Structures are given as structure tokens and as C-alpha cells.
Chain A
Amino acid sequence: MEWILEPWPWYVAGIGIAVVMVVLMLFEKSFGVSSNLRSICSILGAGYCSDFFKFNWRAQVWNLTFIVGSIIGGFIAHQYLTTDHSIDLNPKTQAALVEKGIENPGSTFLPDEIFGTESAFTAKGFLFLLIGGVLVGFGTRYAGGCTSGHAITGLSNLQLPSLIAVIGFFIGGLVMTHFILPFII
């Protein structure tokens, strides 16, 4: 049972994700997490501001359950199934991060310089996380899906629009990582 406490290899996650997608299809649902953000807006009353949020979110409750499951899964994995919280990064990535002022990159799941309480509650740190979130929320709805809806479900079904969206994900990600992040972290 030692393996369960070790980090799992990539193919385990890949197989898991594909199985989740197929099971959802068999239950006449579709695998797409970002739709929940729209449901949350509706629940909070956004229907008063835009017709986009006037839909029967109750039919999406199963998907909200996915979020609840994710929170529980994260909790269990963190509390009971992980002994070593470090990430085995490529030394090149590590060196690049040290150069940018990130201390001990990979020693935990997330850089303290971004997610630590101290940095997140400075004006700059707060805006960084907030703007990042807004871009994710706005972008996924504009593109009609995120990693799960486009990169996994869409590509599995050989959808050209999803391939275009995934190319977009990479354009944005590469621009941010190489041209913008160096100036803001």
C-alpha cells in the first residue's frame, strides 16, 4: 500500500480523467467544470443582469456535486494520502524560479510568494490572484469550455473548435509564462 502515499504517475491521472469523462457520458452528462461557474452566478442572482444566467441551474446540480467532490478529494488526498508534499521539478525550472525570487521552488505544491497568506493580502498579491481568476472565468465562458470541456471532452470527440480553443490556451499560457510573469512575480 506504499504506492498510494507516493505521487502518482501521469498515466494514472490520465486514465482516471478519461474514465470520469466516459462515465459521465453514460449518465447523459458531460465533463466540463467551468459550466459550474455559470451556475454559481445564476444561483447568486446574476439572472437579473443578463439573460445568459437565466437558465435552469437546478439541472446542473450534478455538476456542482463534482465541485463538492473535488473539495473532498483534495482534502482526503492532502490529509491522509500524501506524506511528501514536495514536487519533483525539472532543475532548469527550479533554477529559473530561484532567479525570479521564488524561494525553494517545488518544496511544497504552491509558491508561498503567490499563495501564501502574507503575499495574497498585499495589494499586488491580491490583484494578481483576482485578475488571474477573472481571466480564467471570462476566457472559459468566451471559449465555451476549459481544460475538461475542450482539451479532454472536445478533443476526445475530435472537435475542431476544441482544438482551436486548446491552441488558444497555449498561446495565452506561453505569453503569460514567458513574457508577462517575469515582470510580475
Chain B
Amino acid sequence: MSKAEIVSWYRIYEMFRFESFHMYGVIGTAVVLGVIFVLTMKILRVRSFRGNPIDYAVKKKSAFRYIIGGTIFGLGWAMTGACPGPMFVLLGKGVFTILIVIFGAVLGTFLYGVLRDKLPH
């Protein structure tokens, strides 16, 4: 993630201004390959290393939580230029102020857990 600069705040900013193909290339390649891999695995009924059928984690049907939750995440993503994975990569790179963001993310997750029953899903 570090080597392809996808942990850079600038890359995320550039992506949301549609001024670079870079991030779309990264996500696009991953998704296109991912679709091909998953379809192939399904058709060939590939089993896991332990010999069990693979759980493809079907997401629960709903639109509200995905659009609202997604939008809230998007706001934070564009602010900090980091989604949960890159936060930790940045920590490894010695960006210690990212700890404030990580602390915030843990706090946000905690708030969701506490408020969950009161939120529409």
C-alpha cells in the first residue's frame, strides 16, 4: 500500500477531484481481478485449504444503512486521506499523528456500537 502511494492523503484528494487515474486503476484492477477470481472459484467449486466450501459472505439486503454509513465514511476518508488499512501502514511509516485518527476511528466504532439500536438500518 505504501509502495503504490495509496496511503497518501494527496492521492485520495486527487481521486476525489477526478484528476488522476491512479487510485481508480488500483481499485479497478483489484475489483476486475477479484470478480474473475471469485467467479472462477464458484464455477470450479474451489474449496478452502481445509476442504470446506468457501463462504462468500452475502451482505444483508438494505439500502439505507449502506448509503448513509457509506457517506459518513466517505466524509472521513476524504478528510484524513486514510481508510482503516492505510492508517496502520502510515503508523509503520512513522507518522505518529495518525494515532489521533486511529483513536478517533476506534471511538467512532464505539459510538456506533452504543447507538446502534437507535439508528435506522
Are B27 and A110 in contact, with the CB atoms below 8 A? no
Are B38 and A156 in contact, with the CB atoms below 8 A? yes
Nearest CB of A to B107, in Å: 6
Cβ-neighbour of B34 out of A28, A37, A38, A152 (below 8 A)? A152
Nearest CB of A to B109, in Å: 4
Q: Which residues of B contact A156 (CB under 8 A)?
A: 30-31, 34-35, 37-38
List the count of A-B residue pairs having beta carbons below 8 Å apart: 433
Are B30 and A18 in contact, with the CB atoms below 8 A? yes
Are A74 and B34 in contact, with the CB atoms below 8 A? no
A38 to B107, CA, bound (A): 10
Cβ-neighbour of A77 out of B2, B71, B100, B104 (below 8 A)? B2
What is the size category of the interface that chain B forms with chain A? 35 or more
Nearest CB of B to A159, in Å: 5
Q: Which residues of B contact A162 (CB under 8 A)?
A: 59, 66
Please report the total number of A residues contacting B with Cβ < 8 Å.
Answer: 113
A176 at the interface (CB under 8 A from B): yes
A78 to chain B: closest residue by CB: B93
Q: Chain A 41-64 against B: per-residue CB contact (8 Å), 1 yes, 0 no?
A: 100101001101100000000000
Q: Chain B 9-27 against A: per-residue CB contact (8 Å), 1 yes, 0 no?
A: 1111111110111110111
Cβ-neighbour of B57 out of A40, A66, A81, A153 (below 8 A)? A153
Q: Which residues of A contact B43 (CB under 8 A)?
A: none
Are B28 and A14 in contact, with the CB atoms below 8 A? yes
Nearest CB of B to A156, in Å: 3
Are B5 and A46 in contact, with the CB atoms below 8 A? no
Q: Chain A 148-173 against B: per-residue CB contact (8 Å), 1 yes, 0 no?
A: 10111111111111101111111111
A154 to B88, CA, bound (A): 22
A180 at the interface (CB under 8 A from B): yes
* Given known A67-B88, A161-B66, contact A90–B79 (CB-CB < 8 A): no
Are A115 and B74 in contact, with the CB atoms below 8 A? no
- Residues of chain B at the chain A interface (Cβ within 8 Å): 1-17, 19-23, 25-31, 33-35, 37-38, 41, 46, 48-50, 52, 54-63, 65-86, 88-98, 100-114, 116, 119
Q: Can you list 10 A-B contacts (CB < 8 A)?
A: A13-B4, A53-B110, A78-B93, A81-B3, A109-B9, A126-B100, A130-B101, A147-B84, A151-B31, A162-B66
